[in-house]
Chain A
């Protein structure tokens, strides 16, 4: 079944996550990452959101996907660890 969840996470800047996921397979169906952070080049965020689709919702898979997607870019205000926490925070009751 498709479920939706949201989380607001304070890293060095604010990260807001809107997540759709399949609870049977525990896989990300869609994700929107917004916030007052910086990322160079800016297009890297679209690529990151696309890469996360289909990723299993566990710390290792999410962090690895983020690190791979952001290899050629430079974030300010968050890192792969805090963004992983922000995404996983969607599932906390």
Chain B
């Protein structure tokens, strides 16, 4: 029994540590929702066995709401309000819930090497995010499947998918949260319980009140330490840019995709 448990613990330890020689670092700035989601998919689908893992850091301009792959735009998003406020909306290729991307750092991590076990792969990558948040002076914990909490409040949500024998995990690290705007663009079941829901979310979600640059610096250090890897700062290739523009037009700005459900 003890042997078996030791064996399992050793396997867990092995499973949760992964070393890369290098990680390709892409700092792609602030871009529209459809471009952000298209680039994530391009990086995932263009990954080859020779590609190093990729860490991409980015933001959203204009602000946008993204919904999870299994959600309905009609059910989740007040599209008229988004249009009034100049907020874009897009469906992600990953599951999870609707997010207002306004004051946050978003990361994507794309790798060919990862634990097959889904929970273990979330934990592995989220651990780098936990390390980042802790380096900023907080005590954060990973809560399966996809949340990172500080003082019992969500500060980071994460989601992943697997395609082309490659894993993509993207996630947000909240800098500040505009709860009123969030509740104006996300649909709530009824106006009657809106105030109660707003208070509930305020007690369960918070921003770190740090700058994008502060979080980006610590996230880079954390990924480097977690995977024992050097960064290769890189730009997008012409092919990646071209593929992204194509996917923006054909998928992420198309009604057929965004109103799939």
Listed residue (B68, B75, B95, B118) with the most chain A CB atoms within 10 angstroms of its CB? B95
Interface of B is mostly: loop
| Distance of B88 from chain A, by nearest CB (Å) | 20
Residues of A within 8 A of B95 (CB): 36-39, 42, 76
Which of the four size classes fits the interface of chain B? 20 to 34
A74 at the interface (CB under 8 A from B): yes
Number of A-B contacts (CB under 8 A): 48
Chain A residues 33-50 with CB under 8 Å of chain B are 33-42, 45
Considering the chains assembled together, what is the distance between the CA atoms of A23 and B93 in angstroms?
A: 36
Interface of A is mostly: strand
Residues of A within 8 A of B94 (CB): 38
* A45 and B70 contact, CB distance less than 8 A: yes
Considering the chains assembled together, what is the distance between the CA atoms of A36 and B161 in angstroms?
A: 14
Which of the four size classes fits the interface of chain A? 10 to 19
Chain B residues 29-76 with CB under 8 Å of chain A are 68-72, 75
Q: Beyond A41-B162, A45-B70, A74-B118, is A36–B145 a contact (Cβ under 8 Å)?
A: no
Beyond the given pairs A14-B97, A36-B95, A40-B118, 17 more chain A to chain B contacts, judged by CB atoms under 8 angstroms and listed by A's residue number, are: A8-B189, A13-B97, A32-B261, A34-B72, A35-B68, A35-B71, A36-B68, A36-B70, A36-B71, A37-B95, A38-B94, A38-B145, A38-B159, A41-B162, A42-B69, A42-B95, A45-B70
